[in-house]
């Protein structure tokens, strides 16, 4: 008599259905994903190589510090909102014919601060607007 112990069959994992399901999920995700438009843009900001700035009688210089404080022609503006900037620009440009607003913002100033100056200029009907840049070299 032969006594033979039967061993338990080794479990087999069939990977083919698993791979099929993963491929279907991958295809579904590829077709349903929308990609952001910002990934297409690569910006290199220019450095200005312009001649030194000349003082012109019709210029109104709006300075913005890195922490968001404003000054118009070296006079500090008490507020940090559009109304205060608009009032300051109105006072600075009341005696000037065809004024030009020069925005001189710190490199670390927020984009919102620059937009506030642009909005204040628009409210006062100031259409000539330019931005000051550092001359030559690399920006800090």
* Burial degree of 72 (CB within 10 A; 0-12, 13-18, 19+): buried
**Chain segment 11-67, per-residue pLDDT in tens:** 788 889 999 999 999 998 888 876 654 444 343 434 555 555 565 678 888 888 888
Query: How, if at all, do strands 75-76 and 100-105 pair?
Result: unpaired
- pTM for the whole thing? 0.58
Would you state the pLDDT for residue 45? 39
* Whole-angstrom distance, CA of residue 58 vs CA of residue 62: 13
Q: Would you give the DSSP letter of residue 32?
A: H
Q: pLDDT tens, 97-132? A: 889 998 888 888 888 989 999 999 999 998 889 888
Domains of the chain: 59-131 (3.30.420.270)
Give yes or no for residue 89 having a pLDDT over 50: yes
Q: How many CB atoms lie within 10 A of CB 87?
A: 17
Q: Which residues of 37-64 are buried (b: 16+ CB within 10 A; e: fewer)?
A: eeeeeeeeeeeeeeeeeeeeeebbbbbb
């Amino acid at each position: 008599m032969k006594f033979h112990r039967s061993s338990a069959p080794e479990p087999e994992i069939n990977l083919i259905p698993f791979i099929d399901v993963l491929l279907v999920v991958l295809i579904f995700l590829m077709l349903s994903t929308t990609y952001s438009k910002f990934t297409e843009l690569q910006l290199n900001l220019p450095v200005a190589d312009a001649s030194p700035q000349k003082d012109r009688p019709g210029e109104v210089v709006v300075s913005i510090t890195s922490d968001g404080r404003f000054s118009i022609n070296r006079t500090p503006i008490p507020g940090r909102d559009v109304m205060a900037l608009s009032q300051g620009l109105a006072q600075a440009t009341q005696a000037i014919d065809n004024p030009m607003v020069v925005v001189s913002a710190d490199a670390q100033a927020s984009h919102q601060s620059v937009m506030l100056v642009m909005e204040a200029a628009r409210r006062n009907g100031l259409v000539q607007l330019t931005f000051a840049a550092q001359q030559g070299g690399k920006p800090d």
